[in-house]
Amino acid sequence: MTYATAPSPEGQPPEQQPPRPAAGNSAHMIGALGAVAALSGLLLVMVYQATLPIIEANREALLQEAIFDVLPGAESRAAFVIRNGAPPAELEEGQALGDADFYAGFDADGVFAGVALRASAQGYQDVIRALFGYDPNAQEIIGFRVMENRETPGLGDKIAWDPEFLANFDGLQARINPDTGELDPPIRGVQEGAKTQPHEVDGISGATISVDAVVTMLNRAVGERVPYILEHLDIIEGAR
Amino acid sequence: MPKQDTFTPGEPPVLEADVFLKGLWRENPVFVSLLGMCPVLAVTNTVMNSLAMGLATTFVLFMSTSLISLLRSFIPKQVRIPVFIVIIATFVTIVEYSIQAISLELYENLGAFIALIVVNCLIMGRAEAFASKNPLPRAMLDALGMGAGFTFALFCLGAVREILGSGSFAGVDLFGPNFQPWAIMILPPGGFLVLGGWLLLFAWARERSDRKKAEAEAAAGD
């Protein structure tokens, strides 16, 4: 702690110590620490209680905006929870939007526009979390939005804002083989500008790891969720 | 309470305004004392991030040094550091919740560095070196001055880095679509480069004013 005792550089007058309690008075030390800790606990609880509803409303608004962002044309939505071995259930009244497993979007005429799904994978710095839109009828990814990332600014974080990269998700083929129930062919990342197949993603030079993470998360999320969605598509489409 | 402002005889009394102003320029925490370099280099890639970080740090500095100054005769010397840390951490957590309530996007951008305000040596340094030895009004002035100096320094870095690295200022595009951004400026090495540039400028300005003062004194002595 060199800074603690170093004198101010500009020759400030010596500051006098206020009278300190006698050394070795442990009851006083415990009392002071306890009192300060209690005070800080009280303050934190108050601030937490006051800000929690606002923070939750912010999260909800962000998610809502993202759902419509990845489902072009969607103007209303229904939220679903996946149930093991049973058809999906609509989110009950009072439950947070973030508790749902996927969302179905409908356009102004009530026509089904697709489903929005979550995906995540380890990126360069930390886990990247994203939301993507999937059209079960065309079996294509129709939108992609990064919700959380800590990728390198200017390089890896291009996955979140580079218009050329995001154009990949304007109809990216992600077909489920009806016989095996698996994604076939899987989505593949290629060099920047080398995309020739509808299931390929044009990469970003300098951001290979981040692009690979996006491809991994999409393959995983489509493989895990889409067969279930296809199986119960009539229920999902009939939600509105 | 005994009067704290009595100085040893012979020392000139420090003006109250000077307690505030020294943090802005002569004792600027970033450009002169080089304190709190972690947020200085990490979050100054845009003007908005810089200002938000500067204001968050100023709030924590102001609130915690005020409380420490109030409690200074109550806190036993032996446990003062843990007490300071608890107080600082409390206000940092309050700032963290408040920023999440204000804007999730801002919270995403500042990320881990909000929590790291706890260990910003600027705050610990002012708590230990000033607030724990001075009455409340002086501690408040000192915190405001230091906070303003810190925010000013972060703004200086953020402005240069955003203009060069993204071609914009506070999100407003400056040069149009043909500008090729100098991407290194928003990466960590750019932070070092810009900080070095500002330090050079400040050191030069300080040396020049010192030389002028010495020349004036020499002229007066003739």
Asked if residue A19 is part of any domain, the answer here is: no
Best B100, B105, B110 residue to mutate vs chain A (most A CBs within 10 Å)? B100
How far is the C-alpha of B167 from the C-alpha of B5, rounded, in Å?
Answer: 49
Q: Which tokens go with B31?
A: 């450009």
Asked if residue B8 is part of any domain, the answer here is: no
Asked if A10 has any chain B CB less than 8 Å from its own CB, the reply is: yes
State residue B59's pLDDT score: 95
pLDDT, one tens digit per residue, over A88-103 is 988 887 788 888 999 9
Shortest CA distance to A221 belongs to which of A129, A149, A138?
A: A129
State residue A18's pLDDT score: 54
User: How many angstroms separate the Cα of B126 from the Cα of each of B18, B105, B166?
Assistant: 16, 30, 35
Mean pLDDT of chain A: 86
Asked if residue A3 is part of any domain, the answer here is: no
Torsion of Cα atoms, B198 then B201 then B205 then B210, to 10°: 90
State residue B4's pLDDT score: 46
**Cross-chain Cβ contact A13/B77 below 8 Å:** no
Asked if residue B2 is part of any domain, the answer here is: no
Asked if residue B11 is part of any domain, the answer here is: no
Contact B167, B179 (CB under 8 A): yes
**Cross-chain Cβ contact B100/A47 below 8 Å:** no
Asked if residue A207 is part of any domain, the answer here is: yes
Asked if residue A153 is part of any domain, the answer here is: yes
Asked if residue B4 is part of any domain, the answer here is: no
Asked if residue B6 is part of any domain, the answer here is: no
Number of domains chain B contains: 1
Average pLDDT over residues A60-70: 92
Shortest CA distance to B69 belongs to which of B138, B144, B145?
A: B138
State residue B222's pLDDT score: 63
Q: Which tokens go with A131?
A: 């939301």
Contact A173, A196 (CB under 8 A): no
Asked if residue B58 is part of any domain, the answer here is: yes
pLDDT at residue A223 greater than cutoff 80: yes
Asked if residue A69 is part of any domain, the answer here is: yes
State residue A174's pLDDT score: 92
Residue with more model confidence, A141 or B176: A141
pLDDT, one tens digit per residue, over B118-172 is 888 899 989 999 999 999 999 999 999 999 999 999 999 999 999 998 888 888 8
Instruction: Point out the least confidently predicted range of A19-23, A76-80, B196-200.
Output: A19-23
Q: Residue A208: which domain range?
A: 53-237
pLDDT, one tens digit per residue, over B76-114 is 888 899 999 999 999 999 999 999 999 888 888 787 788
- Percent of chain B past pLDDT 70, that is, above it, reads 93
Provide the number of CB pairs (under 8 Å) joining chain A to chain B: 115
**Cross-chain Cβ contact B129/A6 below 8 Å:** yes
Q: Residue B209: which domain range?
A: 16-173+181-217
Beta partners for residue A80, in sequence order? A90, A102
Asked if residue B105 is part of any domain, the answer here is: yes
Asked if A8 has any chain B CB less than 8 Å from its own CB, the reply is: yes
Q: Coil, strand, or helix at residue A99?
A: helix
Asked if residue B10 is part of any domain, the answer here is: no
Average pLDDT over residues A71-83: 90
How far is the C-alpha of B12 from the C-alpha of B10, rounded, in Å?
Answer: 6
Mean pLDDT of chain B: 86
Using CA coordinates, name the residue in chain A closest to B19: A12
**Cross-chain Cβ contact A51/B73 below 8 Å:** no
Asked if residue A159 is part of any domain, the answer here is: yes
pLDDT, one tens digit per residue, over A19-59 is 554 555 788 889 989 999 999 999 999 999 999 999 999 98
State residue A6's pLDDT score: 47
Shortest CA distance to A210 belongs to which of A168, A157, A170, A144?
A: A157
